[in-house]
Structure 1
């Protein structure tokens, strides 16, 4: 089913919970530390980094946009499975940055937006009918006066999703293309068939996207109110850009392990994509923290939401008060719950989870809010 073909996504029971999850990574060490006690805390990192020199000519437009954001707060989750495992689980609440440009999206877009402003150009990108990336890009473009163009995998005669309605309301021009055309999106000159605007790959997956994540990366490891820094950092992965950006920004760092949780089938391929992004960004695996992937959390594939996942999210939200969605953060916390329940994280470990936002996508899963 095309992601544009219906106004709500359908649940599927194709797969079981991630009991068979596997790890793809560099050599692993034990994750342990003295037990820590913390409460809701605020990141005490320095202010948002200034734009890189080659983007400084963009003027005050992007800075004005970023003034809407502060570095996100860190909250400790009151979560039974974590307490029973003797593990501290914190969440970096990047979902709270902005109603439309939340999570990791603003950070991946900030340098392309600066370049578009500097060069007086629009931006063209691509995504599905429920794309968080296109949703955020359209909103940012509307606030900055940057024209935006979205190439959408789908059919123009199908009902518009709420995501695409929002994008159009924010002035984004939409072109609907076939799946066959969409598969060519990484080929040179692909976007030029539709527009001469600045091309931003799907999900912001570019060198600029990687570089723009530096402030968010630092917030992921900043100590809060004198408490110890995390030993394990987790994030859901789609394009792998956020994982590459965090690894590149943090560099070598003893006692820290960074884990990505792929949310689509063939997640093992993400390992090679992250390495390529690191290489193109001037980094190397020797200059990153120890890192790896937890495989097995895809729940049938990208944007699939079997009944067990919907049930998990409802129970998780009721217990923790933290709202998530099925595409990324729901699968991320389901994978973490599996590792905690099976004793796969050493007691005393402090875990920090990146909430990447995307809550607008919950509208595609009406079962989540069913009584």
Structure 2
């Protein structure tokens, strides 16, 4: 882990842990011969499932939001090159992808034996994979922070925390209060119980998913970090530290999700 040094942190210490959560979410979801999942045209989840399918000899089907556009963008072209079959749902139907009617239609088309993985990969198996993350941290810490898109990573981290530690998730969606219920639901599905050692921060979405502001853009340039998830979390941690939200001496581990990136110290 690398420590991020910034005068705004005061006596709070912030450590960066690079961890691609996609393989964690997939680890216990790969025991199937055919796997179907959902995502947008630039979805990292679609890419990760396609790559996993190629490695493990699993047939994969990607249900993409919206209409087909040719030529395929680099993300979808890579997924197809990995052997994934791409199909499309119009946006109205895609919003109903979790309903029994849409799921029944997909099973009728692709077979009752197909395993259906939700968008973002967050289900009970994904939670169990993410719960292994805290046990891999050898340094002393008090708080683990992570970005939150669908809630699976936060649900797992919380479940895997040692006694006395806590987790903070930074939502990247606008109006994401519903994710608190999702985190609790995922924990119940995975373990039959919930934990009270986590919280969901809704204040640093910067307008919504993939949205930004001049302040966030400047932050991304300064720290050279991914903008949709990681930058919002780091901005939130630094801002809360400046406000005195963390007691002096607090040791925070920020989980840098996705592909490797190297934030630079201020």
Could you state the TM-score of these two structures normalised by the residue count of structure 2?
Answer: 0.90
- Distance in 1 (CA, whole Å) between partners of 2:93 and 2:259 is 26
- Deviation of 1:358 after TM superposition, in Å, equals 4.6
Match of residue 14 from structure 2: 89
Q: How does 1:1-371 map to 2 (within 5 A)?
A: 74-82=1-9, 85-94=10-19, 103-113=20-30, 115-116=31-32, 121-157=33-69, 160-188=72-100, 190=103, 191-196=106-111, 197-219=114-136, 222-224=137-139, 229-250=140-161, 253-254=163-164, 256-285=165-194, 288=195, 290-317=197-224, 324-358=225-259
Verify the 8 A CA contact 2:124 2:189 in the aligned structure 1.
yes
- Distance in 2 (CA, whole Å) between partners of 1:181 and 1:193 is 16
What does the per-residue CA deviation read over 1:316-337, in whole Å, with 9 as the maximum and x for residues that have no partner? 23xxxxxx21111111111112
The more displaced of 293-302 and 275-284 is: 275-284
What does the per-residue CA deviation read over 1:138-187, in whole Å, with 9 as the maximum and x for residues that have no partner? 11111111111100102113653321121112111111211111111112
The more displaced of 351-360 and 289-298 is: 351-360
SS at match of 1:148: strand
- Distance in 1 (CA, whole Å) between partners of 2:71 and 2:227 is 22
Unaligned runs of 5+ in 1: 1-73, 95-102, 318-323, 361-371
- Distance in 2 (CA, whole Å) between partners of 1:186 and 1:135 is 21
Unaligned runs of 5+ in 2: 262-266
Verify the 8 A CA contact 1:151 1:175 in the aligned structure 2.
yes
Verify the 8 A CA contact 1:258 1:289 in the aligned structure 2.
no
Structure 1 segments, 4+ long, off by >6 Å, are none
CA-based RMSD: 1.9
Higher Cα Rg: structure 1 or 2? 1
Verify the 8 A CA contact 2:174 2:205 in the aligned structure 1.
yes
SS at match of 2:254: strand
SS at match of 2:245: coil
